[in-house]
């Protein structure tokens, strides 16, 4: 079988190709095959791969050294975790991958929370608006005991807990038990506002 080759990359399999590459293994896509000048190489069988950085942060994998490439100890399955840092190409550490995964999950929780707030409370423009809406709902619940508000707050509680861990709110949560009493006392001390002789 003949093909058009760019360095070791098989660009196109065609009878008009300039290089005889032999038979392609069944079930193996061209994206993971390379031709090293003598034979086809399956990148999935290598434990070291030549990696070429490309503009935009991407990488091209090679079976042989090409200009600008670096030899990286890796498996083909690791290609999504490649990173170029200070001129060195490497595989992200497990902690880095886990941190990125946690950040992605946290973003999903925040988006879910934002969507829930928009549905149940109103349009959410930014985090401050979200926080104000939650605070307003909490105040209404404390002062009125409105079950509809309670249901809304319970619906977003799992995402709030996911986004803002117990450790992050420990300092402020210690004083929550006194909020109702303080608010009740505060509002009880206020003179009713009147407009045109009527109490509001």
Q: What are the pLDDT digits (tens) for 131-163?
A: 777 777 888 888 888 888 888 888 877 777 766
Does 112 share its domain with 131?
yes
In a domain, 200, yes or no: no
The pLDDT value recorded for residue 177 is 56
Of 57 and 115, more confident: 57
- Domain, as residue range, for 116: 97-188
Does 77 share its domain with 108?
no
CB 34 within 8 Å of CB 44:
no
- The helix/strand/coil state of 125 is coil
Does 83 share its domain with 110?
no
Closest CA to 159 of 186, 199, 119: 119
Does 108 share its domain with 180?
yes
pLDDT digits (tens, 9 = 90+) for 173-190: 555 556 666 666 666 665
| Statement: residue 124 has pLDDT above 50 | no
The pLDDT value recorded for residue 193 is 46
Of 21 and 120, more confident: 21
CA distance 110 to 195: 42
Dmax (CA) of the chain: 98
The pLDDT value recorded for residue 121 is 52
Report the domain count for the chain.
2
Closest CA to 52 of 100, 96, 9: 9
Does 36 share its domain with 71?
yes
Does 15 share its domain with 86?
yes
User: What are the C-alpha distances in Å from 91 to residues 35, 75, 114, 129?
Assistant: 24, 10, 34, 39
User: What are the C-alpha distances in Å from 90 to residues 32, 50, 52, 102?
Assistant: 19, 11, 11, 21
Q: Which of 23, 57, 92 is the last residue of a domain?
A: 92
Residue 166's pLDDT band (boundaries 50, 70, 90)?
low
Q: What is the average per-residue pLDDT within 94-98?
A: 89
CB 48 within 8 Å of CB 69:
no
| Statement: residue 123 has pLDDT above 60 | no
Side-chain-side CA neighbours of 9 within 13 Å: the count stands at 10
Does 45 share its domain with 20?
yes
Q: Which of 67, 92, 117 is the last residue of a domain?
A: 92
- The helix/strand/coil state of 118 is helix
The pLDDT value recorded for residue 157 is 78
Does 25 share its domain with 39?
yes
The pLDDT value recorded for residue 66 is 95
The pLDDT value recorded for residue 178 is 63
Task: Return the residue matching tokens 């009713």.
Answer: 192
pTM, two decimals, is 0.54
How large a percentage of the chain has pLDDT more than 70? 72
- The helix/strand/coil state of 66 is coil
The pLDDT value recorded for residue 198 is 47
Does 123 share its domain with 45?
no
């Amino acid at each position: 079988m003949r093909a058009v080759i760019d360095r070791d990359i098989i660009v196109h399999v065609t009878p008009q190709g300039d290089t005889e590459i032999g038979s392609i293994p069944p079930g193996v896509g061209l994206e993971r095959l390379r031709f090293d000048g003598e034979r086809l190489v399956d990148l999935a069988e290598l434990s070291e791969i030549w990696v070429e950085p490309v503009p935009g942060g991407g990488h091209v994998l090679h079976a042989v050294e090409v200009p600008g490439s670096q030899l990286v100890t890796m498996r083909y399955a690791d290609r999504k975790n490649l990173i170029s840092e200070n001129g060195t190409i490497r595989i992200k550490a497990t902690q880095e991958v886990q941190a990125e995964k946690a950040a992605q999950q946290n973003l999903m929780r925040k988006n879910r929370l934002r969507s829930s707030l928009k549905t149940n409370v109103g349009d959410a423009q930014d985090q401050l608006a979200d926080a104000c809406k939650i605070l307003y709902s909490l105040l209404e619940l404390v002062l009125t005991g409105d079950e509809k508000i309670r249901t809304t707050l319970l619906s977003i509680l799992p995402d709030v807990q996911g986004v803002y861990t117990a450790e992050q709110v420990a300092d402020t949560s210690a004083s929550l038990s006194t909020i109702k009493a303080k608010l009740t006392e505060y509002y009880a001390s206020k003179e009713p506002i009147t407009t045109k002789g009527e109490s509001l």
